[in-house]
A = this chain, B = another copy of it.
Amino acid sequence: MSLYIREAEKKDIPVILALIKELAHFEKLSNEVFATEELLAHNLFEHQYAKILIAEYNNVPVGQALYFFNFSTFLSKPGIYLEDIYIKPDYRGKGIGKALLKKIIEIAKEKKCGRVEWSVLKWNKSAIDFYLSLGAKPLEDWSIFRLKQEHF
């Protein structure tokens, strides 16, 4: 049994897209997925708007984490925003999610980041309990607003 975390390459695009669709299904948000292989190639590899870590278990990709750098004005330092983390259901409970998060935190240290942030669906209690156990705290005082493209 071997677990290996590596940076995604262009050849991983079909796997990346399949994992995005599985995640959307888990989050009950499949109707919001408009990702395509072409868009992923353009926005992750030609432009580098975000980075992906792939988790391989016995040489098979079974999960991924997508992140990008954000910025805190008050700290004047970059941070990491973990946009998505997903492990295939059959491979949960093996510490793979934890290994991905550990790698993200290592990158944050290496880049002298001031913080690591992410969002969680309020009903996902098992995830919330795990995040609290790491020392992470919910930002109770803030609301996120979103302006969709149709309102630009």
Asked whether A36 lies within 8 Å of B144 as measured between CB atoms, the reply is no
Interface residue A7 (Cβ < 8 Å from any Cβ of B): no
> Are A40 and B76 within 8 A (Cβ)?
yes
Selected from B43, B74, B114, B123, the residue in CB contact (under 8 A) with A71 is B43
- Can you list 13 A-B pairs with a CB-CB distance of less than 8 A? A35-B75, A39-B76, A43-B76, A49-B70, A71-B83, A108-B149, A113-B149, A117-B144, A120-B143, A120-B145, A121-B141, A135-B148, A139-B144
- Additional A-B contact list (10), CB under 8 Å, known A121-B142, A137-B148: A20-B74, A23-B73, A49-B71, A50-B78, A114-B148, A116-B152, A119-B144, A120-B142, A120-B145, A139-B144
